[in-house]
Amino acid sequence: MTKIVILGAGMMGTAITIPLADRGHDVRLVGTHLDSDIIEEIHECRFHPRLRRTVHENVKPYILMGLGEAMRGAELVILGVNSQGIDWAAEMLGPVMQPDVPVIALTKGLAGDGQNLQLLPDVFRAGLPTHFRNQVQIAAIGGPSIARELASRQHTCIVLTGTNQVLLDWMAEIFRTPYYHIWTSTDVVGVEVCVALKNLYSLAVGSVRGLLEKEGPGKDSVEMHNLAAALFAQGVWEIGYLVEYMGGSLSSIYSLPGVGDLYVTSQGGRNTRMGRLLGLGMRYQEAKAAHLPEDTIEGADLAFAIGPTIINLVKQGKLNGAALPLLLRMIDIVCHDAPVEFPWDDFFVQV
């Protein structure tokens, strides 16, 4: 039995408790300052209101003030916060964690400082106390994993990535169940870039649903699968360029973190719901305020986080803008409320 602390009681943070609890581990689910109502409901009736699933009896819920208590004897920490909360998570955990306790990030995203792109595990590390930050081993989970499916014990396949293969093997054994299937990879850059960018490209694929509603089905109720497939393929093409730019392996693109995760994210969820609204002709700020004011749209958050850096790198000639027409367009759509119009003639250009 391993003592595991999960910080963040959102849908995926809670869903990951299911395989861990099924394995008999001591799981402590700590809510953020935004999760108080969720933790209260789990405490009272073992039910997660957003996940709409019963929480395993082996899972102990804690409010944020109980983080220190939950961390006593912890052998593994899991980050279940969203991409905007990664700095906050480091600030909260720094004073109460031991440097020999490894961390697994569920959080997907990238950061930009105007000049460079950064992986979120690196951002988390930088936020830890200086006297032990370099001792902490950080891994991450990537791949197609819908929270409600995992919480219902549907077969789910993911990749666990980190730099220490021995540690990855130990972590994988902790998580594996007959329905939660795990592969390991030391290609941290490739996995993290793929699982971050898929959120933004799924906005583009999701916009096709709105375009179809706005324009109406064609003759004989023909839909727009051709269009969605082209956007999907261009997204994979551009992710490959950025993975290579950041020093990752193309093998991650053609596996679970790349095409696998982009496929499942394009099928539904908050990114595709927002994409539909954009395809209907709404501008991003209008759609967010009117229809999804309380929801985290990870694809849009990524655009805001890396958009200025991407544009600067293109201007400096460090990135070839001709290789990223869809990314640049999606940044314009999200960050500057541009309409959904795609530069088709610029797609699939060899650079």
Supply the residues annotated as catalytic: 198
Rounded Cα gap, residues 262 and 268, in angstroms:
11
Q: In terms of residues, how long is the chain? A: 351
Q: Which two tokens stand for residue 218?
A: 């064609």
The string of DSSP letters for 22-40 reads HTT-EEEEE--TT-HHHHH
CB atoms within 10 A of CB 193: 28
Rounded Cα gap, residues 228 and 201, in angstroms:
11
Which among 49, 101, 58 is positioned nearest to 79, based on CA atoms?
A: 101
Rounded Cα gap, residues 260 and 271, in angstroms:
16
CB-facing half-sphere around the CA of 96: CA atoms within 13 A: 20
